[in-house]
Structure 1
Amino acid sequence: MPDADRPQELPARLLTDPEMINACRLRDFARVFRLVKTKAGIYPSMIARRCELTPSRVGEVIAGRRHLLHMDVIERIADGLRIPGHMLGLARRSWETPQALVVTEREAQQPSEPEETPSSLPGPDVDSILAVATRTSLSPATLEAFRSSIEDYWRRDNQHGGEPLRPAIVGQLRHVVELLKEDRPPSIQHGLYGIAAELARLTGWTYFDARQYNQARAYFTEALHLAKEIDDRQFMANVLACMSLQATYQDKPADSLALVTAAQDQARSAIGTTPRVLSMLSMREAFAHATLGSQARTHEAIKEAHRQFERIGQDDPDPAWVSYFDEPKLIVDTGIAHGRLGEAATAEPLIADALRREDHSNQRGRAFHAFWLARTQLDQGKLDQACHTATQALQPASAVASERVSGHLKEFYDQLAPHRQEPVALAFEARLREALPLVSGSTRP
């Protein structure tokens, strides 16, 4: 792009202005646009042109009559106004990093679009024309097809990891968001919002599993906004619970507790929240308390999780997204919560029992739980058992592309440091080195 055509950079004094920083953090684009106008001289018509919005839409945003929620619009604003990605909860934008350095940035490795369109495929303009020409009205069957594909994505995510699936998931999310811009019957529109929210959550989950936390948070936030449009408080609780779990991985236990408490508030304010949902949320609360080291509150939350689980009825209208939280999952999460507290003797039999009963197709879950079992065994001085368990975990770990799995593997290896010269530890290390090329994201010990 010639220099004359490049978007004007925002003044450094504006990008460091606390009011601008706060407005971006909250994605309060009414304030952002006003600040850009008054402090950078970029007027609404210019904002509209640079962000590919209509002038009337910009005017409605500034007047507070419209809120911008969708990721594609937020990305256009960041790029058009040259707002650094981190200020809006996005990954580093391509224009922020010299091209030669882009490959070193983990958060920037996933291009949102291919740089070139293969000659055998039509260009994006032709795609848009064809989409208009072939557009048909949506039916309940169409919504069911979307939901079925989401269930299939989750199944494959458990088996293989979500990173290879992400381009397809994001593509479907963008397609559904485009469908939301048209007038539809209320029931169809409501269904589309729910589907878009689930796709955004799933995208966030794939980034979380890859330990790309900023991108995960951005998509989880989009999922919250979409669910709020249809007042689906149970689903909002689900998304907040995902964010709470991420906070435990980021070693932010206070944030984790705040997020899961907000999730429980949403669930309790919803009509028809099921005991299974409340049980799952109580277990996430137990994780947060355990990470904070609060023994009494962890035990109390575990007790509540089991009490709610006992209330589950055969005909409860559980949302599809909570079906994974079955009895083995309750048991293994109970064991992990005790393990986080350092109560290894209590945790070990619970995790071992759940592993015996767990679905063998869930490779990532089996790898996680086997490493947790090995850690509890090692904490009790059972070196032989721990190394045997961890060796068994290498097979499911190598079958799934998951940075989180690799992280658990490394944590266990680090725990072995005092025992590295023991024969059983040396044998595990040899097996580990054999498996490392197959385990996504692992670093050779």
Structure 2
Amino acid sequence: MNAKSAGPLPSEILDRDDLRRAFAEHDFTAAFGLMKKYGGLSQNKIAAACQLTPGKVSRIVSGQQQITSFEVICRVSDGLHIPGHMLGLARRPWEQSGKDDAGDQDTDGAADPPTGDESAAVPWSRGAVVSMAARVTRSDLVMDRRAASRAIVAAVATGAGLLDPLEGWLQPAAAGESQPLRGRLGRAEVAELETTARAFRAWDHKFGGGLRRKAVVGQLNEVAAALEEHQRPEIEERLYRVLAQLAGTAATMAWDSGLQRRAQDYYRIALRAAHAGGDLAFGANVLAGMARQMLYRDRPHDALDLVRLAQDGSRGHAGPRVRAMLHTREAWALAATGRSAAFGRATAQAAEELTNAVPGEEPYWIAYFDEAELAGVTGGRLLDLARKDPRAHAESAADEIRTAIATRGADARRSHALDWIGLAECSFLQGDLTEAVGQTHRAVEAAQETQSSRVRTQLGSLYPYTVGHSASPQVREARDRLRGLLAS
């Protein structure tokens, strides 16, 4: 056995057949007991390495509790440096880098200096956003796999550190600096860039994930370079709007790939560029994306502040689809804070706004927000509530999600996958294992059609529901399919 033991687990214990069997079966009662007996690890050391409480480790060792979360299984692998294949996982980042994380104290910032928003020192000028875009994209384009692994765990801004620098969004855009007109781009070239930005956004909406992220970043870098040449005013404004749309797509792709801090960088660029280009509706869309990021990070109050900032700054400029989308983000944040009545009111406002939408009257980037999207988002938020009170909300959540599945377009593959995952969880919460198993298979099939790490993270939330039903061959089969995809 050539396994590297960079963590607290001695390498020789990994050769034990009984421990290997325990790992393969995810029997952590047996595995932790063997570690204590033959590896010399105390329960406290196991808890610290795996980011678990000592009490939870004690319950696992005594057989009172089992590890059912895929994310926790990954923490066990990383904390104790158990090679991924022993636990049915893909190679872990520390295996791929070939270095001991404990002895390699580089942070994300060492290879990729924190960019920050800089708005505390630099006003919301056009030159500032171009400079930031050029610097961030150059850094991103040379980021290797090891730096990307560190970037996944890099901290993001929250609270006042996130919100205070964004207040400049509410101020009028500064007039363009007086510069010699050296640019040579014409209307035809800008139209090609606009078409490219639209194509990248459509691809991300269809597939998700980061397979084309570097292509988007490269195009963003080129547009920033063109803006450094100070084009004619008409061309410059359109270029800022292209810059905003490309940065918004780059942010979504980075977020979808788990690069949270990098996503924040691109969201900031997108917001500043939209502000510079006078596209306040798209700026509101960017703030809504930032709010969604905060919601996934359990920061609903930050998300609500971002939505209110978007609504204040785009008033009179946003059409009904944008306003409806903002209401759904507001509803999401309200649901996350337990305000069920306010959630219902905001959802009703979104539905009312959407009835006023006229096809073709709003920008292409908001066309995705239709009745199917509203149903999917509403179903997802009702599912959030159902996790706390299944009897009150699981059935209505399932109804909304079924509506979304039945009415979504074929190009929304990532959304389809998320819908099936949500519907399967609704069935698990309602105790209908037959339906839940069938929907889990559909969720796995839909997830295989995307490259979205967000979809795989959500898929992992189904795994605990499949544990404890080993007597059912159908549930075991569904669990095996989940493990197979999550480990890939």
| Inter-CA distance 24–398: structure 2 relative to 1 (3 Å threshold) | closer
Q: Which residue in the other structure is 1:68 paired with?
A: 128
Task: Give the match for residue 411 of structure 2.
Answer: 361
- Per mean C-alpha deviation after superposition, the further-off stretch among 425-434 and 230-239 is 425-434
SS in 2 for 1:341: helix
Aligned residues: 343
- Which gives a bigger RCO, structure 1 or 2 (Cα 8 Å, sep 6+)? 2
AA matched with 2:407: R
Report what 1:407 is aligned to: 457
TM-score (norm 1): 0.70
Within the alignment, does 1:191 sit opposite 2:238 as a pair? yes
Superposed, 1:270-285 pairs within 5 Å as 270-271=316-317, 273-285=318-330
Q: 2:372 matched to 1:328? A: yes
CA distance in 1, matches of 2:231, 2:367: 30
Partner SS for 1:234: helix
Deviation at 1:187, TM superposition (A): 1.6
Q: 1:297 to 1:236 in 2, by over 3 A?
A: same
Residue equivalent to 1:7: none
Q: Secondary structure at the match of 1:331?
A: helix
Q: Unpaired runs of 5+ in structure 2?
A: 1-108, 155-181, 387-392
Measure how far apart 1:101 and its partner are: 6.5
CA distance in 1, matches of 2:278, 2:413: 34
Contact 2:183–2:232, Cα closer than 8 Å, also in 1: no
| Cα distance in structure 2, aligned partners of 1:274 and 1:144 | 23
Hey, what does 1:128 align to over in structure 2?
A: none
TM-score, normalised with respect to structure 2: 0.64
1 CA distance for matches of 2:407 and 2:125? 53
Match 2:351 to one of 283, 294, 306? 306
| 1:1-51 per-position Cα deviation (integer Å, ceiling 9, x unaligned) | xxxxxxxxxxxxxx9xxxxxxx98551574xxxxxxxxxxxxxxxxxxxxx
Task: Tell me: CA distance 1:104–1:239, structure 2 relative to 1, closer, same or farther (3 Å).
Answer: closer
Q: 1:338 is matched by which residue type in structure 2?
A: L
**Secondary structure of the corresponding residue to residue 361 of structure 1:** coil
Instruction: List aligned pairs for 1:16-415, cutoff 5 A.
Output: 26-28=117-119, 30=121, 68-69=128-129, 70-72=131-133, 74=135, 102=147, 104-107=149-152, 137-268=184-315, 270-271=316-317, 273-314=318-359, 317-342=361-386, 343-415=393-465
Note closer, same or farther for the CA distance 1:324–1:421 as it changes in structure 2 (3 Å cut): same
Deviation, 1:313, is: 2.8
CA distance 1:75–1:105, shift in 2 (3 Å): same
Judged with a 3 Å threshold, the aligned counterparts in structure 2 of structure 1 residues 409 and 177 are, in CA distance, closer, same or farther, namely same
| Contact map agreement 1:68 1:74 (CA 8 A) in 2 | no
Spell out, residue by residue over 1:265-323, the C-alpha distance to the aligned partner (whole angstroms, 9 max, x if none).
1221x43x2111101110111111112221011101100000101112346x3011101
Alpha-carbon distance between aligned partners in 2 of 1:421 and 1:178, rounded to the nearest angstrom: 62
Partners of 2:115 and 2:265 within 8 A in 1? no
Whole-Å separation in 2 of the counterparts to 1:228 and 1:383: 50
1:422 aligns with 2:466: no
Distance 1:424 1:198 in 2: 45
Task: Tell me if structure 2 keeps the 8 A contact 1:156–1:162.
Answer: no
Residue identity opposite 1:367 in structure 2: A
Q: Which runs of 5+ in 1 are unaligned?
A: 1-14, 16-22, 31-60, 80-89, 110-134, 437-441
Counterpart in 1 of 2:93?
A: none
Q: 1:308 to 1:165 in 2, by over 3 A?
A: same
Q: Would you say the 8 A contact 2:288–2:310 is kept in 1?
A: yes
Calculate percent identity across the aligned residue pairs.
30
**Offset at residue 166 of structure 1 (A):** 1.0
Q: Supply the distance in 2 between the matched residues of 1:154 and 1:420 (Cα, whole angstroms).
A: 43
Tell me how far apart the structure 2 counterparts of residues 148 and 100 of structure 1 sit (CA, whole Å).
30
Deviation at 1:139, TM superposition (A): 2.7
Kindly provide the amino acid, as one letter, of the partner of residue 402 in structure 1.
S
1:177-197 CA-partner distances (Å, limit 9, x unpaired): 111122322221110000001
1:29/1:67 contact within 8 Å kept: no
